[in-house]
Amino acid sequence: MNLRPLSMQSLMKSKYPLTLLTLSLISALLWECSFSSDQDCQVLNIYDGDTMTVQCQSSEKIKVRLYCIDSPEMQQAPWGKQARDHLRSITGSQVQLVAVEKDRYGRTVGELYQGSTNLNLQQVQAGQAAVYRQYCKKDQYFQAENQAKNARQGIWSTSGPHQAPWQWRKDNK
């Protein structure tokens, strides 16, 4: 399906301009509804320190990749399990999802909140995740990572490949 935006000029040149305009508007509305940026959700599964599945009001299951962070992979023992267990310990049965974008795997990338607590940021503050510099635009994450490093918390307590999960994945394909 071609989702390129249609210009008004191309709509008017088409054989059925009103039909195309109507279809374009309906498509845009459906996209917005399927990618609502602020939803209350039930937590179904926490896979690792930066990925979970939730079920939101729309009743669809959504796989969520936590924005701005990258936690060690589960195969990076014991760091991956520690990151997952920490996320499980700070996450209740309900979260608020603030979607940011979709990633190349179709997952929703977003920030998760437990009340006013940003769970993504909590993972970084606890030293259970590194800031995913390539994708993060928020200074608060970088500040939290520096504090965790200085305090030698979690992944920052000893050096190694667990501190850069993106590099570990690249090296272990």
Q: What are phi and psi of 130, to 5 degrees?
A: -95, 160
Start and end residues for every CATH 2.40.50.90 domain found in the chain: 38-171
Catalytic residue among 32, 84, 107, 152: 107
Return the percentage of the chain with pLDDT > 70, whole number: 79
- Angle (CA) 25 27 31, round 5°: 120
> Residue 7's pLDDT is what?
52
Which pLDDT score, from 0 to 100, does residue 60 have?
Answer: 83
CA distances from 48 to 15, 73, 113 (A): 52, 7, 17
Q: Once rounded to an integer, what is the mean pLDDT over residues 135-157?
A: 97
CATH class, domain 38-171, is: mainly beta
So what's the pLDDT on residue 11? 45
One of 32, 65, 104, 145 is an active-site residue; which one?
A: 65
Three-state SS annotation for 55-81: EECCCCEEEEEECCEECCCCCCCCHHH
User: If you count DSSP H runs as helices and E runs as strands, how many of each does the chain have, helices first?
Assistant: 6, 8
- For the question of residue 73 being annotated catalytic, the response is yes
- Name residue 27's amino acid: S
Catalytic residue among 4, 32, 60, 73: 73
**Model confidence band, residue 111 (pLDDT cutoffs 50, 70, 90):** very high
* Annotated catalytic residue 101: no
The rounded mean pLDDT for the chain is 85
Active-site residue flag, 65: yes
pLDDT average, residue stretch 152-159:
96
Q: Global pTM?
A: 0.77
pLDDT value of residue 59: 73
Taking only the tens place, the pLDDT of each residue in 26-75 is 544 444 444 446 889 999 999 999 999 999 987 789 999 999 999 999 99
According to the model, what pLDDT value does residue 57 have? 84
